[in-house]
Amino acid sequence: MAMDFYSQISNNKKMTILLFFAFFILVGVLAGIVSLLLGGFSIIGGMFLTGFGVLIILFAVISYYNCDSIVTAVSGAKEAPVEKFKQLHNLVEELCIASGLPKPRVFVIEDTAINAFATGRDPNHSVVCVTTGALQFLNREELQGVIAHEFSHIKNYDIRTMTIATVLVGIAVLLSDFLLRMVFYSGGHGSSDSKDARLFIVILVIGVILAILTPFIAQIIQFSISRKREFAADAGSTEMTRNPLGLASALEKISKDKEPLEAANKATAHLYISDPLKNTKGLWLKGLFQTHPPIEQRIAALKGMKS
């Protein structure tokens, strides 16, 4: 199954721009409503809107340039010394040759769950991380398939897109939570004019609805982006290794591993090769909120690539 990497990279860059545009509009609307509740476009409201805009820019810039350090710290990952993880480094170096990518920094999470992820802003500032469970329970071909999957995410700039999505979702959720707290604890005050008061109430209701729906909408967008990229990364792994059954076998082992990854959380779950939380069963409309496509579909697709 051939894969157009240049087209995938182009699509990911376009998706990055769309993500920025959509989320900044959403965050801008929420910030405007908060400003209105603080006094409309008075000095107080204007100061909030300006200050929040500056904070968003600073947060986005810091997150962009330090996303690898932030994600590894949150995940409890430690850099893997070559002398202790020689086979892991050998596999990474082999895949660097196969993919033409510079060698990423290699990290390990001390956990018996089988999983892995990649992060960073671009191939020159990337990280590949695996759990000790993956090193323990996967054979060489399986581990190679897993790492090649993460290399595909790096090569396609998936890591940048998903990192930006994570940052923007976090900002939108924080702002919506702040707006809800303002409404329910302070109440807000509109104009004494009845017409202005009605307009204020309408805007307030819209703000509350947006604040309630924002976290769900943002996560649905984030998860749908993640699911699509998993199939592409599986195909990319096969392009590098010429061995779809290696990754398919690894995914079969991962599907049988019912142990959740303790260091993972909802903010970072989409970065892993498979859902690290293991808690999606029984949820209503669970398909919308899954970070990954069904693992059985991924295995079937990989086995279908066998020549």
Q: What single string gives the DSSP state of each residue in 139-206?
A: -HHHHHHHHHHHHHHHHTTHHHHHHHHHHHHHHHHHHHHHHHHHHHHT-----SSHHHHHHHHHHHHH
Distance of alpha carbon 47 from alpha carbon 160, whole angstroms? 32
84 burial (CB, 10 Å; 0-12 / 13-18 / 19+) is: exposed
Among this protein's residues, is 110 annotated catalytic?
Answer: no
Q: Other CB atoms closer than 10 Å to residue 98's CB: what's the count?
A: 15
78 phi, psi to nearest 5 deg: -120, 145
* The dihedral formed by the CA atoms of 139, 145, 150 and 153, expressed in degrees to the nearest 10: -170
Selecting among 142, 150, 230, 239, the annotated active-site residue is 150
Angle at 299 (CA atoms; ends 271, 112), nearest 5 degrees:
50
Yes or no: say if 182 and 149 are a contact pair by the CB < 8 Å rule.
no
Q: Which residues of 224-242 are buried (b: 16+ CB within 10 A; e: fewer)?
A: ebbbebbebbbbbbbbbbe
280 phi, psi to nearest 5 deg: -90, -10
Distance of alpha carbon 49 from alpha carbon 110, whole angstroms? 43
Yes or no: say if 147 and 186 are a contact pair by the CB < 8 Å rule.
no
Yes or no: say if 113 and 275 are a contact pair by the CB < 8 Å rule.
no
What residues are annotated to the active site?
150
